[in-house]
Amino acid sequence: MIITPQTPEKAIKEMETEIFVSPKDRLDFYRREIHNETSNLSSRTNAYLSAQSFLVIAYSSSMANRNPEWGEIFTLVVPATLALFGILSSLSAWPGIKAACDIIDHWYVKQTGLLNCEPVIGQAYDDSPLFSTWESSHSGQRKSLVFSKRTPWLFSGFWLFLGSFAIWINLL
C-alpha cells in the first residue's frame, strides 16, 4: 500500500500494527535501518577519502615535474586542474553524505521516541538501561557523524589552497 497525504489515518494505523507485532520488532527495525544507513555512509566516506588520496598523490607528482621542455606549463596547468577536480568531487560527494546523515538522524529520532514511550524495551535483564542517554540522545548521535559531514568541506578548502598555491608558485 502506498501512503499519501490523502490516506486515511485508520488505514495507516492498521498497516503499522500488521508490520510490527511488538515494540521490540519496531526497535529491531529501527536498529537495522540505522545499521544499514551507517554502513552506507561508511562506504561513501571511504570511497570519497580514497579518491581524495589518489588526487593528492597525483597533485604531488605533478608539482614535482621538472622537465626542462614542458615542465613549467605542466606544473601550472595540471596541479590547478587536479585541485579544481578535487573541489568538484568534494561538492559532488556532499549531497550523498548529507543524505545518509539525515536518514540516520531520522531513524535515531524514531528510536529515541520509541525508547521514551516504551520503557519496557529500554530495560535490560538487570534493570539498567539498554541504551545510555548518550547513545540514545540526538546530540550524542550527531557528534558521531561530524567527521563524515565535515570531510568534504575540509577537502574543498584544502584543494582551494593547493590550487592557489600551484598557480602562485608558478607565476612568481
Is the distance from CB of 37 to CB of 28 less than 8 angstroms?
Answer: no
Q: Is residue 2 part of a domain?
A: no
Cα(3)–Cα(94) distance, integer angstroms? 30
Higher pLDDT, 135 or 90: 90
pLDDT at 69: 87
Mind listing the pLDDT tens digit for each residue in 1-41?
566 777 787 777 766 666 777 788 888 899 999 999 999 99
Q: Is residue 12 part of a domain?
A: no
Rounded CA separation 59/49 (Å) = 15
Q: Which residues contact 96 (CB under 8 A, 6 or more apart)?
A: 44
* Mean pLDDT (whole number) for 40-68: 94
pLDDT category at 78 given cuts 50, 70, 90 is very high
Contact call for residues 64 and 141 (beta carbons, < 8 A): no
**How many domains does the chain contain in total?**
1
> Would residue 109 count as lying in a domain?
yes
- Residue 27, in any domain of the structure: yes
pLDDT in tens, 122-161: 654 445 555 566 555 667 778 889 999 999 999 999 999 9
Q: What residues make up the domain containing 158?
A: 22-171
Tell me if 43 is assigned to some domain. Answer: yes
Look at residue 142 in the predicted model and tell me its pLDDT.
80
